[in-house]
């Protein structure tokens, strides 16, 4: 028995490798200003990717997640521009998101419509609602204190938003691995019928999954609106497909049943390093998309062949033993 690294640790090593490689070969990558830049960009994407991962573990997908974020951002922004304080604004933003999540959750868990169809519909629906509210305009002009959430430091070094991300990484990890709900999320993802027959109320589990994803979207929205000091209908919409890609690259099984918080976070880091490094090298921004798409396919192709190889090996060993 040689100690075998888990899929996630290998991904972590790849992330470190890319980081070291970029630092060596890209001037200014390993500069303090660039490092802090990346630390500020990470949380918003990381939170959405985590939310997406939780949904994918149940075998679903949430295409409406970035519009939930935008909707929640609009909610918070409207509160602030109408003279309410920061705290009520944040609470309203989170409530807006939870309402969207509850809507997804009800249709998925009670009516049983496939999540990809529900969230495809609600994505258009939420986008429409935001457009109807904002008329497509940006809302801006928030109190100065609000911008601290996305731009402020804790003790002068660590970005506040990064701490928020850390908190939710730990929270998601604990919830998924230690709580009854979390274990049921994995159970549902690997076999929903068996889960139902072992006395689990599937609809409740699913409902909470969509609520949790929308909560993470709301937190991400608060960080984004605070960082940009404005909100528009397309807030974070570029993260939609990227978050699916990050979850899948992180080892989450798109059919459900498997997925680790750290895997997703490593994948988010890899994307961030590549995006940032390529930008510094002066590569065309659309080439970054090409690279991310290619990585996704290459890694999964590699997985397929390594699975095949190890299966062959496993088939051969018993014969030899006999």
Partner 1 sequence: MKLLLKQKEFSVLAIILIITVILSFVSPVFLTVQNWLDIIEGNTVIGILAIGMTLIIITSDIDVSVAALTTAVTVSIGYLFQFLPDNWSSVVLIFLIAPLIGMLLGAFNGLLVSRIKIPAIVVTLGTLNIFSGLVLYITNGNYINSTNFPDSFLAFSNIEMAGIPILIYLFALVAFGTWFILKYTLIGRSVLAIGGNAQSSVRVGINFEKVKMFVFSYMGFLGGIAAIAQTSYTSAIDPNGLAGMELTVIAAVVLGGANIHGGRGSIPGTLLGVLLLAIMQNGMILARIDVFWQNVVTGAIIVIAVSYDEINHRRNQEKLSNIDVKEAS
Q: Which stretch binds partner 1 (CB under 8 A): 24-32, 168-176, 188-196, 285-293?
A: 285-293
Asked if 171 touches partner 1 (CB under 8 A), the answer is no
* Contact residue for partner 1 among 6, 180, 301, 317 (CB under 8 A): 301
Q: Confirm or reject binding of residue 92 to partner 1 (CB under 8 A).
A: no
Contact 187, 57 (CB under 8 A): no
Three-state SS at 57: helix
Are 33 and 280 in contact, with CB atoms under 8 Å apart? no
User: Min. distance of Cβ 136 from partner 1 in angstroms?
Assistant: 7
Instruction: State yes or no: residue 99 binds partner 1 (CB under 8 A).
Output: no
Number of residues that bind partner 1 (CB under 8 A): 45
Binding-site member from 49, 216, 246, 292 for partner 1 (CB under 8 A): 292
Sequence-distant (6+) residues with CB within 8 A of 288 are: 274, 275, 278, 279
Give the residue, chosen from 3, 24, 87, 132, that forms a contact with partner 1 under the rule CB under 8 A: 132
Which residues does 65 contact at the CB level (< 8 Å), separation at least 6? Answer: 48, 51, 52, 55, 119, 213, 214, 217, 240, 243
Q: CB-based contacts of 134: which residues, under 8 Å, 6+ apart?
A: 74, 232, 233
Check binding of 9 to partner 1 (CB under 8 A). no
Interface with partner 1, residue 70, by CB under 8 A: no
- Residue 196 interacting with partner 1 (CB under 8 A): no
Distance of CA 165 to the CA centre of its chain: 11
Within 251-280, the residues that bind partner 1 by CB under 8 A are 254-255
**Token representation of residue 282:** 């002066």
As measured in angstroms, the least distance from the Cβ of 248 to partner 1 is: 5
Position among 35, 116, 158, 174 found at the interface with partner 1 (CB under 8 A): 116
Residue 296: CB minimum distance to partner 1, A: 4
Cα–Cα distances in Å, from 26 out to 31, 39, 123, 134? 10, 18, 38, 41
Q: Is 125 in the site for partner 1 (CB under 8 A)?
A: yes
State phi, psi for 230 to the nearest 5 degrees: -160, 165
Nearest Cα to 75, choosing from 159, 134, 1, 136? 134
Nearest to 38 by CA among 263, 257, 268: 268
Contact track, partner 1, 134-163, x by CB under 8 A: -xx---------------------------
Query: What are residue 230's DSSP bridge partners?
Result: 140
Stretch that binds partner 1, among 33-41, 74-82, 124-132, 211-219 (CB under 8 A): 124-132
Among 126, 188, 228, 273, the residue binding partner 1 under the rule CB under 8 A is 126
Footprint on this chain of partner 1 (rule: CB under 8 A) = 61, 63, 107, 111-114, 116-118, 120-129, 131-132, 135-136, 241, 244-245, 248, 254-255, 284, 286-294, 296-297, 300-301, 304
């Amino acid at each position: 028995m040689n100690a075998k690294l888990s899929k996630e640790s290998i991904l972590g090593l790849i992330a470190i490798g890319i980081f070291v490689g970029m630092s060596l070969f890209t001037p200014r990558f390993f500069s303090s200003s660039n490092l802090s830049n990346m630390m500020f960009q990470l949380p918003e994407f990381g939170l959405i990717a985590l939310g997406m991962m939780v949904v994918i573990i149940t075998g679903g997908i949430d295409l409406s997640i970035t519009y939930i974020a935008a909707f929640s951002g609009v909610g918070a922004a409207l509160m602030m521009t109408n003279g309410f304080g920061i705290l009520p604004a944040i609470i309203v933003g989170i409530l807006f998101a939870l309402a969207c999540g509850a809507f997804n959750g009800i249709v998925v868990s009670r009516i049983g419509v496939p999540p990809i169809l529900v969230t495809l519909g609600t994505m258009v629906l939420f986008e429409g609602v935001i457009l109807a509210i904002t008329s497509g305009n940006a809302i801006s002009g928030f109190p100065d204190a609000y911008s601290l959430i996305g731009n402020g430091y804790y003790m002068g070094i660590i970005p506040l938003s990064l701490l928020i991300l850390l908190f939710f990484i730990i929270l998601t990890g604990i919830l998924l691995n230690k709580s009854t709900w979390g274990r049921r999320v994995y159970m549902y993802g690997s076999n929903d019928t068996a889960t139902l027959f072992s006395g689990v109320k599937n609809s409740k589990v699913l409902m909470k999954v969509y609520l949790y994803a929308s909560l993470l979207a709301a937190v991400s929205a608060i960080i984004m609106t605070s960082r940009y000091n404005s909100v528009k209908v397309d807030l974070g919409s570029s993260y939609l497909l990227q978050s699916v890609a990050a979850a899948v690259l992180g080892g989450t099984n798109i059919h459900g049943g498997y997925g680790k918080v750290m895997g997703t976070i490593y994948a988010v880091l890899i994307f961030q390093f590549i995006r940032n490094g390529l930008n510094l090298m002066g590569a065309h921004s659309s080439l970054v998309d090409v690279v991310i798409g290619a990585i996704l396919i290459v890694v999964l192709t590699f997985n397929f062949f390594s699975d095949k190889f190890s299966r062959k090996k496993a088939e051969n060993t018993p014969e030899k033993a006999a």
